[in-house]
Amino acid sequence: MPNYHFFGGSHTPKSLSRWQEVVWVLIIMSSWIYGGLSEAAAAAMALNYQCGEMRLEVNRPEDIQVFFEGIPLFSTSQLYVVDEKWTKRFYAFEDDGRCLTKRQVRETTRGIEIIYPLQSPNGEFRGELIYALYEASTFALRVRGELTTPSKARLEHRFGRFAPGWFAGNLWRATLLDGTTTEGLVPIAPISSKLSDATLVEKFRSLEIAGPSYTVNFRTLGDFRFSLLDYRLSPYNDGELCYWVGILENPIEVGKSFEYGFDLTLVRRKQKGMGIDTPEPASLHFLNDVLLAGETPDRILPTPKKLVWGDGTLAIGSELVVGLEKSRGSSSQKEASALVENILGPALERYA
């Protein structure tokens, strides 16, 4: 059996007294009567599981947070099934008032699976969503569905908003649905608010993002438009600097069932001495093309008569001391150390 930990859930604990069980049942029944859950009832049904270094917190399908070694990885899922012109919505998580009350939790030999039945209020769409946490610190998502409306439709599913620290400045490599491979550099500076310019890669079968400490691996299921976007300048990011991973609007056939999903794992990279095994600098020959939309002019006032640029390094002496202040409400020492390692790791490897 995997080593996972359960911190809360939708099932009534055995330790509850009889009157507490009665109160719990009344909450659920009142939710069914009014077609959904109140905020208080939904909060009471929040789940919190951990398997290895991966932790999952979720109640409704859109209210999801995933952490790795205590550091936020991604959050806030979103699913839309709409007509071709986005004028009519056939399904959205926020319209499904009963998916939480009908949720099930299933324990398997691999880990834990959280199952949500999906159905639109008018019955135009029905399906199933599974969030899973498996051994070897793996998060998995599966969606099965079928559209019954006679109208042509499109599906768009944002799996989550990913924290930029896991992606920015790192090499990515992808195998596409047609079997070809491609690679690039996740930009440090935000690219654009325009969707076409902010799309780093799409229609991938697998995607690896090689950071200084960890490689983030995505393995997808289904022939869908799986995409990675730089979402930091998007007008739809609710002010959150993030990267977008999911399925961009993808046609779906009426009356034909479909299935898609992905597995997400993080693998620690090999360390050499004080540094981190980072990608070869030769792979970064396209840095200027990917990092910035265009060449940025020098802005030095007053303008010097002569200017010679260095190689971007700065002598700091034989020792570099980094102080980590720990106060109430701050991250743990382990999390802070991991953050410093991610920032300084490439420099240690390159210049040590």
- pTM equals 0.69
- 324 is written with which tokens? 């980590």
- At 21 the pLDDT is 47
Are the C-beta atoms of 255 and 147 separated by less than 8 Å?
yes
For residue 14, how many other CB atoms are within 10 A of its CB?
6
- At 10 the pLDDT is 39
Give a yes or no: residue 291 inside a domain.
no
- 317 is written with which tokens? 């002496």
- At 14 the pLDDT is 38
Give a yes or no: residue 306 inside a domain.
no
Give a yes or no: residue 296 inside a domain.
no
Number of domains in the chain: 1
Are the C-beta atoms of 230 and 191 separated by less than 8 Å?
yes
CA distances from 132 to 50, 140, 351 (A): 11, 5, 41
b/e map of 231-256 (b: 16 or more CB within 10 Å)? bbebeebeeeebbbbbbbebebeeee
- At 275 the pLDDT is 47
- At 309 the pLDDT is 72
- At 343 the pLDDT is 64
- At 274 the pLDDT is 44
- 232 is written with which tokens? 């930091």
Secondary structure string (H, E, C) spanning 217-233: EEEEECCCCEEEEECCC
- 225 is written with which tokens? 């438009």
pLDDT per residue, tens digit, the chain (352 aa), is: 555 454 444 343 333 445 544 444 444 444 444 445 556 666 668 999 999 899 999 999 999 999 999 999 999 999 999 999 999 999 999 999 899 999 999 999 999 999 999 999 888 999 999 999 998 889 999 999 999 887 789 999 999 999 999 999 999 999 999 999 999 999 999 989 999 999 999 999 999 999 988 999 999 999 999 999 999 999 999 989 999 999 999 999 988 999 999 999 999 887 654 444 555 444 444 444 444 445 555 566 667 777 777 766 666 665 666 666 655 555 556 666 666 666 666 655 554 4
Give a yes or no: residue 147 inside a domain.
yes
Sign of the torsion formed by the C-alpha atoms of 67, 100, 103 and 19: positive
Give a yes or no: residue 322 inside a domain.
no
Phi/psi class of residue 73: alpha, beta or left (left: φ > 0; alpha: ψ in -120 to 50)?
alpha
Rounded Cα gap, residues 114 and 140, in angstroms = 10
Give a yes or no: residue 242 inside a domain.
yes
Rounded Cα gap, residues 282 and 326, in angstroms = 39
H or E segment to which residue 290 belongs: helix 287-291
- At 247 the pLDDT is 98
Domain that holds residue 223: 4-268
Give a yes or no: residue 311 inside a domain.
no
* Residues belonging to the chain: 352
Give a yes or no: residue 314 inside a domain.
no
Fill in the amino acid letter for 187: P
Q: What is the CATH number of the domain that holds 165?
A: 2.70.98
